[in-house]
Amino acid sequence: NAGVTQTPKFRILKIGQSMTLQCAQDMNHNYMYWYRQDPGMGLKLIYYSVGAGITDKGEVPNGYNVSRSTTEDFPLRLELAAPSQTSVYFCASSLRGPAEAFFGQGTRLTVV
Amino acid sequence: GESVGLHLPTLSVQEGDNSIINCAYSNSASDYFIWYKQESGKGPQFIIDIRSNMDKRQGQRVTVLLNKTVKHLSLQIAATQPGDSAVYFCAESFTGTASKLTFGTGTRLQVTL
């Protein structure tokens, strides 16, 4: 049982480049989340999904897009990378809501 | 906007002592609170949660206390161990937006031998 798997673990992007952060869970969880964590700060919610085909904005959605075509996968897309998007990104999943969410190991993204 | 915050950024505790990590929240509508532990280089890990209809909840070596009057949350760790060294976050949400958590900035717990 792998839990929540994020890829890649590290990435350096140039300003204006695009990339997709992958997130997959094998626990059949309905809820999935994307958070970003800036140095010395707490997590901020970017987007979340309560089930396949349903997504909604969180606290800081600008500059990001998501899709949820299957229960297992919840990719996060950055279209035009900016230095302000330098952060550690965490994907999480849970069965019914934020309670007891399982987090991935994170993706450390640097935009230069 | 309203946010969750913490009183102490760093807490140093001797092994075997009890630890108390505090958190203040400002959204009076919040009715659900969670404590997470984050070890270096890892994602947050759920520790314990509490709903606003409770004042206290106990887990294994951990206790969460909620004081709604002063909007204060605390995490107590009994017999602190070196493995407890991590950053601890409190998070809040309310029923109207059950999928959204607001995280505090975190407290680093350092356990000394």
CATH number at residue B86: 2.60.40.10
Of B43, B98, B101, the CB nearest to A45: B101
- What's the rounded mean pLDDT across residues B21-49? 90
Q: Residue A82: what pLDDT?
A: 97
Kindly tell me if the per-residue pLDDT of B2 is higher than 50. no
Q: How many helices (H) and strands (E) does chain A have?
A: 0, 11
Domains of chain A: 4-111 (2.60.40.10)
Chain A residues touching residue B102 (CB < 8 angstroms): 59
The proportion of chain B whose per-residue pLDDT surpasses 90, expressed as a percent, equals: 63
B105 near B5, Cβ under 8 Å? Answer: yes
Q: Residue B99: what pLDDT?
A: 62
Give the domain range for residue B38. Answer: 4-96+104-112
Instruction: Please give the full DSSP string across B44-84, using - where no structure is assigned.
Output: -EEEEEEETT-SEEE-SSEEEEEETTTTEEEEEESS--GGG
Chain B residues touching residue A60 (CB < 8 angstroms): none
The residue among B31, B37, B51, B100 with the most chain A CBs within 10 A of its CB, best to mutate, is B100
Task: Determine which of B44-48, B92-96, B106-110 has the lowest per-residue pLDDT on average.
Answer: B92-96
pLDDT band for position B95 (50/70/90)? Answer: low
Q: Residues A38-86: pLDDT tens digits?
A: 887 888 999 999 999 999 999 899 999 999 999 999 999 999 999 999 9
Distance CA A49, CA A61 (A): 13
The proportion of chain A whose per-residue pLDDT surpasses 90, expressed as a percent, equals: 82
As for how many domains chain B has, the answer is 1
Find the closest chain A residue to B4 by CA distance. Answer: A42
pLDDT band for position B8 (50/70/90)? Answer: very low
Kindly tell me if the per-residue pLDDT of B4 is higher than 60. no
A23 near A31, Cβ under 8 Å? Answer: no
Find the closest chain B residue to A102 by CA distance. Answer: B45
pLDDT band for position B9 (50/70/90)? Answer: confident
